[in-house]
Amino acid sequence: MSPLIQIGIPSKRIIIAWHAMGSAVIFMSCQSVRGRVQ
């Protein structure tokens, strides 16, 4: 395996984790905004 592939596999997992965290943060902020409006 080339070093680039070995680096690329964990970085993909990190990107997926960042996307999951980001979507969760956006969801929480949307929920809090809805709570304030209602």
Residue ranges in 1-38 assigned as alpha helix (H): 3-37
**CA pair distance 23, 21, nearest whole angstrom:** 6
Residue type, 30: C
| Distance, CA of 8 to CA of 5 (rounded, Å) | 5
Joined together, the tokens standing for residue 37 give 């409006």
- 1-38 tens-digit pLDDT: 566 667 677 788 888 999 999 999 999 998 988 888 76
- DSSP 8-state secondary structure symbol assigned to residue 2: -
